[in-house]
Amino acid sequence: MKMEQKEWGIGGHSNAVKRTVEIRMTDNMRFTPDLVEVKQGETIRFVHVNNGKVMHEFVLGTKKELDEHAAAMKKFPGMEHDEPYMAHVGAGKKGEIVWNFNKVGEFDFACLLPGHYEAGMVGKIKVVAK
C-alpha cells in the first residue's frame, strides 16, 4: 500500500509502534473509546474489535474528508475503498492499522457505512505538539 502524506498523518511501520490502542465497535453505532490523545510523531497500532453482528469500519481523516467520503459511499453503495488509514471489520472480527500522526491537529475517525455515520459512529483524535 502507498504511504501518502495526508493532513492527518501518514501510514506507519509496525517496527515504529510504541503504543497499541484498542477500539471496540458495537451495533449501537459507537466506538469505545471515542477520544484518543496522541503526541505528534507517535506511531499507533489501532486494533479494532467488532463486537457487533454487522460489519463496521474505522476510517481516519479530517471531518471534511470524512463527510465527502460518506456522501460518496451513499451515492455508490458497495464502492470499494481500501487505504492504509482505514479498516473494514466483519461481525465478531478484528482489524488493525498502523498510523503515524506526524501532524498536529484534531482529526476524526468514523464508520462510513451508510446509516452508521449519520447515527453518530464517530470519534476524535487529538494530536498534540511534543
Give residues in contact with Cu ion (CB under 5 A): 56, 111, 113, 116, 121
Given the complex with Cu ion, which of 84 and 123 has the nearer CB atom?
Answer: 123
Distance, C-alpha 20 to centroid of its chain: 14
Given the complex with Cu ion, which of 121 and 127 has the nearer CB atom?
Answer: 121
In the complex, minimum distance from the CB of residue 60 to Cu ion, in angstroms, rounded to a whole number: 15
With residue 69 as reference, give the H or E element that holds it. Answer: helix 63-75
In the complex, minimum distance from the CB of residue 110 to Cu ion, in angstroms, rounded to a whole number: 9
Task: Say if CB 100 and CB 14 are below 8 A apart.
Answer: no
- Residue of minimal Cβ distance to Cu ion: 111
Task: Say if CB 53 and CB 93 are below 8 A apart.
Answer: no
In the complex, minimum distance from the CB of residue 30 to Cu ion, in angstroms, rounded to a whole number: 9
Given the complex with Cu ion, which of 13 and 90 has the nearer CB atom?
Answer: 90
Pairing between strand 122-128 and 35-39? parallel
